[in-house]
Amino acid sequence: MVDQRSLFQRYIELKDIIVRSNGRTILNIPSAMIPADRITACVGPNGAGKTTLLKLLEGLIKPDAGTLRYSYAPIRTALVLHHTPMIKASTRANLSLIQDADRTISNEDVNQVLDRIGLADFASNPAHQLSAGERQKLCLGRVFLQKPNLVLLDEPTANLDPNTTEQVEGMIRQFKLQGSEVIFTSHQLAQVQRLAEYILFIDQGEIKETGPVGPFFSNPQTPAAKRFLRQELEGF
């Protein structure tokens, strides 16, 4: 049996994790190593617990039982959920909110990121009027400013058109190039194959399978993963 610690330079170790809500167990993870040194995709059916896992890794929710241990420090995470609300202010103001948390971020940094995310022309427009794709770019712009070492993205391209999806995927690759590792959830398996190096497959609150992307798609090991891929790829 390979000790998975030797596979990853940085990882998060989960032990005996239980997350419950309204008396129901949403996550049940006796033992797992989650890589934090590559682009990892978290996949699984609706309601499997993917978003809950991202919130747990971010520290937004605490487990009812069990422990998380990060193999590295400092841990600087950024979580982008979908439908992030905007305050009734300009695009620039919504982006520069992040300066409150980090005084080293300058107005020039904000301007550069506005350019980088393609929203410079919208800087003075009210952010709550931005389209879904523009809003998502704004949220990812905040991540560029935060420079976390682990970026957690919940369905980063849900409901986006192919062009905007490509732009967002480009930003995810840039996170990696600038030294941030990424864990994202997605229902788009073609996207998972384009972007991810590693898979976490979740089903009914349990991590059923982990491993490199290629073998997961070509030779899934568990009945749950086989069923999921068959339904997603072949529609039955």
- List contacts with ligand ATP (CB under 6 A): 21-22, 26, 44, 46-52
State the distance between the two ends of the chain, measured CA to CA, in whole angstroms: 34
Q: Minimum distance between the CB of residue 49 and ligand ATP, rounded to whole angstroms?
A: 4
For residue 52, the minimal CB distance to ligand ATP (Å) is 3
Phi, psi (degrees; rounded to nearest 5) at 209: -155, 140
Of residues 66 and 118, the one with the C-beta less far from ligand ATP: 66
* Exposure on the CB side of residue 181, measured as CA atoms within 13 A: 21
Closer residue to ligand ATP (CB): 49 or 220: 49
46/163 with CB nearer ligand ATP: 46
Q: Measured from the CB atom, is 80 or 105 closer to ligand ATP?
A: 80
Contacts of 146 (CB under 8 A, 6+ apart): 76, 78, 98, 101, 102
21, exposed or middle or buried, with CB in 10 Å at 0-12, 13-18, 19+?
Answer: exposed
Q: Closest distance between ligand ATP and the C-beta of residue 29, in Å?
A: 13
- DSSP character at residue 183: E
Nearer to ligand ATP, 37 or 232 (CB): 232
Residue placing its CB nearer to ligand ATP in the complex, 43 or 110: 43
Using DSSP bridges, classify how beta strands 181-185 and 39-43 pair: parallel, antiparallel or unpaired.
parallel
Cα distance between residue 172 and residue 166, in whole Å: 10
The one-letter amino acid at 149: N
**Residue 40 Cβ, how far from ligand ATP at the closest point, in Å?**
15
- In the complex, least distance from residue 201 CB atom to ligand ATP, rounded to whole angstroms: 11
Helix, strand, coil shares, percent, the chain, to 5: 40, 25, 35
Minimum separation from the CB atom of position 24 to ligand ATP (A): 7
